[in-house]
Amino acid sequence: MSGWDPEAFFTVHADLPREGPGETADVAWAAEVAGLTSRVRILDAACGPGGDLGALLRVAARGHVTAIDTHAPFIEAARVRWGKDARVTLLTGDYLTPEGPFDFIWSAGAVYFVGIETALTAWRGALAEGGAIAFSEPCLFTDAPSEGAIAFWEGYARLTDAQGIAAQVTAAGFETVATRVISDIAWESYFRPMQDRLRKLRRGADARLLEVIAAHEAEIAGWRAHKAETGYLLSVVRPS
């Protein structure tokens, strides 16, 4: 979201259950595709407040999940729910430089900030032999997207279709095992709690916060208007 005031942005995003679209079924699907066992070592890269930790822990029932985010308040929010679980390590830090090895790296939405090739190259050294990575990336679902569908991503320079995402995966020295479109349910799981928070924040909001609230409301409306044309593609990949 371009041009946002950081303080106002994180006021909106405080106390949300998740920081991007997602659902339990996404994690279960990726785990099945990757052939994970219950003893798997997982990295949740850019975990936010831990919205996917429950699903990841169901996969790693006898394993371990390390969750990293650069924003300390998100880690603190995750710690409230998961801090006493011995199977979880919560860290504030750079999600591109984790200490592995990990059998599986999960990253919901964060590759957007650095690019596919940068992220996969950075994570390669942290992967155990035979390991896999699952990440979601903005994707166009049509050869003729409307101006509104493109504008939804606010000038994202790497915006492409599934073929273009696969080409970036190949360029990083990986192969695509399988892909899955992030569902409407996953998007609404992110946007509905946000809408509730935006309504509450409007009361007594100053000009800076009102601007960020309006931007988020426009984002929600934009996705609902163009969800048939664009969204996130979840890819499971392995070093080639």
Please give the average pLDDT of every successive group of 10 residues along the chain, which has 240 residues: 73 91 96 96 97 97 97 95 95 95 96 96 97 98 96 94 98 98 96 95 91 94 97 98
Cβ-Cβ contacts under 8 Å for 145 (sequence gap 6 or more): 226, 229, 230
Two structure tokens written together for 111: 């590759």
Per-residue pLDDT, 4: 62
Q: Is the peptide bond before 21 cis (omega within 30 degrees of 0)?
A: no
Beta bridge mates, 108: none
Residue 118 phi, psi dihedral angles, 5° rounding: -65, -45
Per-residue pLDDT, 6: 83
Strand, helix or coil for residue 35: coil
Q: Class for domain 22-186+229-239, per CATH?
A: alpha beta
Q: Where are the domains of the chain?
A: 22-186+229-239
Q: What is the pTM of this model?
A: 0.94
Cβ-Cβ contacts under 8 Å for 76 (sequence gap 6 or more): none
* Cβ count within 10 A of residue 225: 13
Give the closest residue to 140 by CA, choosing from 114, 159, 167, 122. 159
